[in-house]
Amino acid sequence: MSGPADTPEVVIRVRGLQNRFGRNIVHEGLDLDVYRGEILGIVGGSGTGKSVLLRSITGLQRPDAGRIEVLGVDILSGDERARATLDERWGVMFQDGALFSSLTVRENVEVPLRAIEGLDPRIRSQLADLKISMVGLPYLAGDSYPAELSGGMRKRAGLARALALDPEIVFLDEPTAGLDPIGAAAFDTLIRGLSRSMGLTVFLVTHDLDTLHAICDRVAVLAERRVLVEGGLRDMLAVDHPWVHEYFHGPRARAVFDVASPGGTGTKE
Ligand SMILES: Nc1ncnc2c1ncn2[C@@H]1O[C@H](COP(=O)(O)OP(=O)(O)OP(=O)(O)O)[C@@H](O)[C@H]1O
């Protein structure tokens, strides 16, 4: 349920997160809110813990301390039944698609659907085909094995699998990495279209400035072991921190955000 008008619903709430590997403290006192229906871009230098944050929220990495609530479920409470209900409410797409190489694309997309008890195998297969067409793959791609697809098609197949159960939240780890600019732009358009049409919340780890500009509603910057700053792109331009300034004002950023030109808005439309 949404809160009162103008109060966006928080679907992911992270408080006081701590993650360490031996002496390497990755997160310390990290707080983050993600709102329903938004596309949130997670950025930060290499090794700042973007993937560890994604893994912590999705239960793949047990943090050392902190509290994580997803869709109202306290995922660190130890209540496995409550946590398992989330498997149908979120989908995760890893960088390389993480598809099973011995299964066809259709069979890969069917994997999460197997959790639905009593589902007729023919319906399951049709549902998988629906997701495959939803992500813009040709119908026949369902019969292909991952190795027979291009990198961009594999990513789409990974997204189809993440969307198999009509999740409320989808986690994407660098979805456009390794794609050519045209393929990356098409993937951005796909994610934005799906988010808007399905009301999907998107948690998106990226280094891609084009993606941030084209589709993200908000950005959270990881630095100094926490979310240093979060907000719209315009807010990022005003942040006085060396990494944030370099990232959002560097030559690549200027090319994307047009901040150098007098008419530049620095924000997406
Ligand atoms: N399983 C692990 N064991 C030990 N150290 C780990 C483990 N997973 C991550 N780390 C460390 O945690 C830190 C953060 O890693 P993470 O992969 O989250 O960074 P990232 O921000 O996603 O980086 P990149 O942008 O390069 O992908 C790194 O120093 C990494 O070496």
Taking only the tens place, the pLDDT of each residue in 217-265 is 999 999 999 999 999 988 988 899 999 998 888 877 777 776 444 444 4
Q: For the whole model, what pTM was predicted?
A: 0.90
Task: Output the pLDDT for position 4.
Answer: 55
Q: What is the mean pLDDT of residues 25-36?
A: 97
Tell me the sheet residues that pair with 78: none
Q: Whose CA is nearest to atom 17 of ligand 1?
A: 51
Q: What is the mean pLDDT of residues 158-176?
A: 93
Span from the CA of 49 to the centroid of ligand 1 (angstroms): 5
Neighbours of 82 (CB within 10 A): 13
Strands 65-70 and 73-74: antiparallel
- 45-59 pLDDT per residue, tens: 999 999 999 999 998
Element (H, E) at 27: strand 24-35
Q: Whose CA is nearest to atom 16 of ligand 1?
A: 49
Q: How confident is the model at residue 1 (pLDDT cuts 50, 70, 90)?
A: very low
Take residue 57 and report the two structure tokens written for it.
Answer: 């929220």
Q: What is the mean pLDDT of residues 100-120?
A: 93
Q: Domain limits of the chain?
A: 9-89+169-252, 93-166
Q: 179 near 155, Cβ under 8 Å?
A: yes
Span from the CA of 247 to the centroid of ligand 1 (angstroms): 20
Q: How confident is the model at residue 267 (pLDDT cuts 50, 70, 90)?
A: very low
Q: What is the mean pLDDT of residues 120-146?
A: 92
Decide: 256 in ligand 1 pocket, CB within 6 A.
no
Task: Tell me yes or no: is domain 9-89+169-252 CATH 3.40.50.300.
Answer: yes
Q: What percent of the chain has pLDDT over 70?
A: 93
